[in-house]
Amino acid sequence: MAKLSTEELLGQFKDLTLLELSEFVKAFEEEFGVTAAAPVAVAAAPAAGGGAAEETVEQDEFDVVLEAAGDKKIQVIKEVRGLTSLGLKEAKDLVESAPKAILEKVDKAAAEKAKEALEGAGATVTLK
């Protein structure tokens, strides 16, 4: 059998239907004992190893999570409405379904300000 160049192989693959190409990939994997997912796993491994270096980078986006409303639920609902664009019913439902994220992916200053406001109203809040 004559050896095909990469361009000739690609030309042959262009003529295949998706079903035929899928069958080819399965046969290729069985013949050579490989999987199409292997390159993804190899690429992910160095990223996992570099995680220690990434941890030193300071977090710049925070989620403000309401853990509990506390005794002054009405004050907390008012604060939630002030921090979000929710109506009274939506804010009440959110407060009653705690723990729940109030704000997501906000900067540190906004997260700290929201946390102080909610804690001032009697809520228990965490930043993630």
Contacts (Cβ under 8 Å, ≥6 apart) of 85 = none
Calpha distance 71→105 (Å, rounded) = 28
Does 107 have pLDDT greater than 60?
yes
Percentage of residues in the chain with pLDDT exceeding 70? 82
Tell me how far CA of residue 65 lies from CA of 68, 75, 124, in angstroms: 9, 16, 9
Q: Give residue 43's pLDDT.
A: 47
Residue 66 and residue 95 in contact, taking contact as beta carbons nearer than 8 Å: yes
Calpha distance 42→79 (Å, rounded) = 48
Q: Give residue 30's pLDDT.
A: 83
Q: Give residue 38's pLDDT.
A: 45
Question: In this predicted model, what pLDDT tens digit does every residue of 35-72 receive, in sequence order?
Answer: 765 444 444 455 555 555 555 567 778 888 888 888 88
What is the average per-residue pLDDT within 8-29? Answer: 83
Is the pTM higher than 0.85? The answer reads no
Question: In this predicted model, what pLDDT tens digit does every residue of 77-106 receive, in sequence order?
Answer: 988 888 888 889 888 888 888 788 888 888
